[in-house]
Chains A and B, each alone.
Chain A
Amino acid sequence: MAVPSLPIFERLYRRLAGRSRKALFGVTLLLVVLSLFASSRLSIQEDIVAMLPDDSSTVAGDFRLLQLAPFTKKLVITVKARQGDTAALVAVADSLAERLRGARVGNVSTGPADLSGSFFVWLGSSLGSLGTEEDLERVALASTPQQVRGSLKAGYEQLLSPEGWALKGKLQSDPLSFSTVALEKLRFLNLVPNMRLVQNHFVSADGKSALLTVDSTVPMTDSGASRDLIDRIDRAIAASVPAGFGATVVSGHRYTLANAETIKRDLYLVLSLSVLAVFAIYLLFLRSMSAVFVFLVPSSILVIASGAMALWAPQVFGVTLGFGGVLLGMVDEYAMMVYFSCRQGGKDPASIVGEVSRPVLFGALATLLSFGVMLQSSLPGQRQLAVYSMTGIVAALAISLLVLPHLIKPAPDGGIPLDPRTGNWRLPRRTVIGIWLALLALCAWQATKIRFNGDLQAVSMVTPDLRRAEDELVRTWGDMRGKALIFSEGKDLEGALALNERLFARLSGRIPAGDLVSLAPLLPSAGRQEENRRRWLSFWGAGRAARLGRDLAREGEGFGFSRDAFAPFLASLTAPPPAATVEGLRQAGMGELVDSLVITTPGAVRVLTLVPDNPQLVAALTDELKDLSGVRLVSQSRFGANVGRAILHDFTRYLAVTSALVLALLLLLFRNLRRVMLVLVPVVTGVICTLGAMGLFGMEFNIFNIAATILIIGLCVDYGIFMVCRITEGSDRIANRAVLVSGLTTLAGLGALALARHPSMHSIGITVLLGIGTGIPAALLVIPALCPKEPA
Chain B
Amino acid sequence: MIRFLLILALLCCSAMPAAAADTAPSPALLDSLARTAAGVKTLSSDFVQEKHLSMFKSVMSSKGRFYFVKPYQLRWELTAPVASGFVLKGEKGRRWHERTGRTESFVISQDPVMKIVAEQLFAWARPDFAWLKKEYRITVLTESPVLLRLEPKGGPTAGFLKHLLIGFSADGRYVRSVELHEKDGDFTRIKFQNTAVNKQLSADLF
Q: How far is the CA of A116 from the CA of B121 in the complex (A)?
A: 21
Please, which residues of chain B bring their CB within 8 A of the CB of A207?
A: 107
CB distance from B45 to the nearest CB of A (A): 15
Asked if B113 and A167 make an inter-chain contact with CB atoms under 8 angstroms apart, the answer reads yes
Q: Which residues of A contact B (CB under 8 A)?
A: 85-87, 90, 116-117, 153-154, 157, 159-169, 171-172, 196, 198-199, 207, 560-562, 565
8 contacts between A and B (CB under 8 A): A116-B156, A157-B82, A157-B97, A160-B51, A162-B121, A168-B160, A198-B107, A562-B56
Interface residue ranges of B173-188 to A (CB < 8 Å): 180, 182, 186, 188
Count residues on chain B whose CB falls below 8 Å from chain A CBs: 39
B residues whose Cβ falls under 8 Å from a Cβ of A: 49, 51, 53-58, 60, 62, 76, 78, 81-82, 84-86, 91, 97, 99, 107, 109-110, 112-117, 120-121, 156, 159-161, 180, 182, 186, 188
Whether the Cβ atoms of B120 and A162 lie closer than 8 Å is yes
Known interface pairs A562-B55, A562-B56, A565-B55; A153-B99 also in contact (CB < 8 Å): yes
Contact B84 A560 (CB under 8 A): no
B91 lies within 8 A of A160 (CB)? no
- Are A560 and B58 closer than 8 Å at their CB atoms? yes
What number of A-B contacts does a CB cutoff of 8 Å give? 85
Known: A159-B51, A161-B85, A165-B160. 7 other contacts (CB 8 A): A117-B156, A117-B159, A157-B97, A161-B78, A169-B160, A560-B58, A562-B56
Q: Within 8 Å CB of B99, what residues of A? A: 153-154, 157
Chain B nearest CB from A121 CB (Å) reads: 11
Residues of B within 8 A of A164 (CB): 51
**When chains A and B are docked, how far (Å) is the Cα of A357 from the Cα of B71?**
96
- Contact present for B188 and A165 (CB under 8 Å): yes
- What are the residues of chain A within 8 A of B113 when measuring CB–CB? 163, 166-167
Given contact pairs A162-B121, A163-B117, A172 touches B55 in the complex (Cβ within 8 A): yes
Are the C-beta atoms of A86 and B60 separated by less than 8 Å? Answer: no
If over half of A's interface residues share one DSSP class (helix, strand or loop), that class is named, otherwise mixed; here it is helix
* Closest Cβ–Cβ distance, residue B136 to chain A (whole Å): 15
B contact residues around A153 at 8 Å (CB): 99
Contacts of A168 in B (CB 8 A): 53, 55, 160, 182, 186
Q: Is the interface of B mostly helix, strand, loop or mixed?
A: mixed
Question: Per a CB cutoff under 8 Å, which of A159, A163, A199 touches B53?
Answer: A159
Establish whether residues B97 and A163, one from each chain, have CB atoms under 8 Å apart when the complex forms: no
- A166 with B117: in contact, given A560-B56, A560-B58 (CB under 8 Å)? yes
Q: Which 8 A-B pairs have the closest CB atoms?
A: A565-B55, A162-B117, A166-B113, A560-B56, A160-B62, A562-B57, A198-B110, A86-B109
In the assembled complex, which residues on chain B have CB atoms less than 8 Å from the CB atom of A196?
110
**Residues in B neighbouring A199, C-beta threshold 8 A:** 109-110, 112, 115
- Contact B82 A165, beta carbon cutoff 8 Å: no
Flag if A166 contacts B91 (CB, 8 Å).
Answer: no
- A161's partner among B84, B112, B160 (CB-CB below 8 A) is B84
Q: In whole Å, how far is A546's beta carbon from the nearest beta carbon of chain B? A: 21
Report B40 CB to chain A, min CB distance, Å.
Answer: 21
Chain B residues whose C-beta falls within 8 Å of the C-beta of A86 in the assembled complex? 91, 107, 109-110
Is A166 a contact of B160 with CB atoms below 8 Å?
yes
- Chain B CB count within 10 A is highest, among A86, A157, A165, for A165
Q: Are B180 and A560 in contact (CB under 8 A)?
A: no
Report whether B57 and A561 are in contact in the complex, using a CB–CB cutoff of 8 Å: yes
Task: Provide the bound-state CA to CA distance between A90 and B120, in Å.
Answer: 20
Query: How close is A433's CB to chain B, nearest CB, in angstroms?
Result: 79
**What is the bound-complex CA distance between A199 and B60, given in angstroms?**
31
Decide: A162 and B76 in contact? CB cutoff 8 A.
yes
- The answer to whether A160 touches B116 (Cβ under 8 A) is no
- In the bound assembly, the distance between CA atoms of A562 and B188 in angstroms comes to 17
Nearest chain A residue, comparing its CB with the CB of B98? A157
Q: How far is the CB of A653 from chain B (nearest CB, A)?
A: 59
B117 near A562 (CB under 8 angstroms)? no
A87 with B91: CB separation less than 8 A: yes
Chain B residue at smallest Cβ distance from A157: B82
Given A157-B99, A163-B117, A561-B56, A90 contacting B182 (CB threshold 8 A):
no
